[in-house]
Amino acid sequence: MVTPVLRVEDLTVSYNGSRVLDGVNLEVKEGTWTTIVGPNGAGKTSLLRAVVGGVGYEGAVEFRGSHDHSARDRALNVALVPQIPVIPPGLGVVEYVMLGRTPHRSVFASESRRDRAVVGDVMDRLDLTSFAKREVSSLSGGERQRVVLARSLAQEASLLLLDEPTSALDLGHQQEVLDLVDELRTETGMTILATQHDLTMAGRYGDRLVMLNEGAIVARGNAREVLTEANISEHFGAKVMVIDDDAGPIIVPVIPTSAA
């Protein structure tokens, strides 16, 4: 049996005595794309933050069968593209992407030839070379999103966490970013664990979906098994019509008609 890249067991996260995740169990297999969906407040971001070590938790988080890992070990295994990235003012694109190499260097060590090669390759892949001398703050939303993704890819971690990576982008840029991530996954074999508000997008890009509500997993499986009218009605409180399409379910809101 192949050991999963990530396993969380009985994961519980609390803020100020209130549980936002309650006994979550999840396995993510190598090379797959798992998408977490759920209404606001379901615990999606908290799950990713626990995996990356950004919040305290009870239970176990294992990478390739081991749960004995330091902060540096996590950074070597897991990269996070946050929903709202913190970008220091005045920082250039190359400098920001180079931050992804920090786990690979000892304290006070300068960047190596290998670091520069990795950053250059990542920027080429994401079509960012022409922005190398620009400040990150001067870029458009879609360009900044690619820079944040580049920093995470420069970590060369086997597990990439995406927290609503397209929430601030228009439809064209959403597809651009998600297609790029899927292409890189195919090329490099990395594993994706993402959160996604757009259920149609979630179903099209995820091999496996996990639905969270009130801190617990309420459904898991492929897109057609999880994105049902009944599940969406019960856990999102929304009336929708699910259209079966070859690329995945299309979720359409049902607009009530006014009484004559």
- Domain 6-90+156-253: CATH superfamily is P-loop containing nucleotide triphosphate hydrolases (3.40.50.300)
Q: What is the reported pLDDT for 220?
A: 96
Q: What is the reported pLDDT for 260?
A: 46
Q: How far is CA 39 from CA 91, 195, 236, in A?
A: 35, 11, 6
Q: Classify residue 12 as exposed, middle or buried by CB count within 10 Å of its CB (0-12, 13-18, 19+).
A: middle
Q: What is the mean pLDDT of the chain?
A: 89
Average pLDDT, stretch 57-62? 93
pTM exceeding 0.85: yes
What element of type H or E holds 187? helix 171-188
Percentage of residues in the chain having pLDDT higher than 90: 62
pLDDT higher than 70, residue 168: no
Residue owning tokens 């079966």: 244
Average pLDDT, stretch 233-254? 93
d(CA 216, CA 42): 8
User: Could you report the per-residue pLDDT of 7-52, keeping only the tens digit for each?
Assistant: 999 999 999 889 999 999 999 999 999 999 999 999 999 999 999 9
Beta bridge partners of 178: none
- What is the band of 255 on the pLDDT scale with cuts at 50, 70, 90? confident
- What is the band of 1 on the pLDDT scale with cuts at 50, 70, 90? low
Domain ranges of the chain: 6-90+156-253
Q: What is the reported pLDDT for 23?
A: 94
Q: What is the reported pLDDT for 259?
A: 45
Average pLDDT, stretch 75-87? 86
